[in-house]
Amino acid sequence: MAFNSSIQCSPSSHEMIKKYDVFVSFRGKDTRNNFTDHFFAALHRKGILAFRDDTKLNKGQRILSNLMQAIEGSQIFVVVFSKNYASSTWCLRELQKILDFVNVSRKHVLPVFYDVDPSEVRKQTGDYEKAMSKHEEKSREDKEKMEEVKRWRGALTQVANLAGWDMRNK
């Protein structure tokens, strides 16, 4: 997979990157008020510094720049796949950025499958197929966007093939 040069940093900018133990990617409307809230609370109790994009970015901040700094400054990545994760362009772009960084930094990704079958994510069936088909439909006339959707499909498959945590019916 090609490395996106936008996430490289110079030695001087690297020193300014805030360090996080964990970066968590999740679909807020699916998991914010249940699993991820409990997960962040447990990490906090253990003294683990976790980046949460819905609380750490201040209004008006350059979101993409700050998000990239948070990704670069994280040691491990937890991706919480849920029913609507793939319907979010933001989540898919975030996943792609994480994977681009992980592929060159040799850091680790832990997938969590919250109320979704890992094979549905891996093979993009069910809700994931519906969501990805909608992205393709919206991008049909734009070759660059179609390539992006293709990369998202690959990223979903790659991360879903990793050993992770299946939270269905738990």
Per-residue confidence (pLDDT) for residue 135, from 0 to 100? 97
pTM: 0.83
Per-residue confidence (pLDDT) for residue 9, from 0 to 100? 37
> Strands, E, within the chain: which ranges?
20-26, 50-52, 74-81, 108-113, 165-166
**158, amino acid identity:** Q
Per-residue confidence (pLDDT) for residue 63, from 0 to 100? 56
Per-residue confidence (pLDDT) for residue 8, from 0 to 100? 36
**Greatest CA separation for the chain:** 49
Catalytic site residue from 15, 72, 94, 136 = 94
Q: How far apart are alpha carbons 101 and 159 in whole angstroms?
A: 13
94 is catalytic: yes
Q: How far apart are alpha carbons 69 and 150 in whole angstroms?
A: 25
Q: Which residues of the chain have pLDDT under 70?
A: 1-18, 54-64, 169-170
Angle between helices 143-160 and 89-105 (to 10 degrees): 60
Per-residue confidence (pLDDT) for residue 106, from 0 to 100? 86
Whether the CA torsion 109, 69, 51, 125 is positive or negative: it is negative
74-81 and 165-166 as β-strands: parallel, antiparallel, unpaired? unpaired
Q: How far apart are alpha carbons 127 and 85 in whole angstroms?
A: 9
Whether the CB-CB separation of 120 and 85 falls below 8 Å is answered with no
Q: How far apart are alpha carbons 157 and 127 in whole angstroms?
A: 15
Per-residue confidence (pLDDT) for residue 69, from 0 to 100? 87
Per-residue confidence (pLDDT) for residue 58, from 0 to 100? 53
**Token pair belonging to 84:** 């609507």
**51, amino acid identity:** F
* Domains and their CATH numbers in the chain: 18-166 (3.40.50.10140)
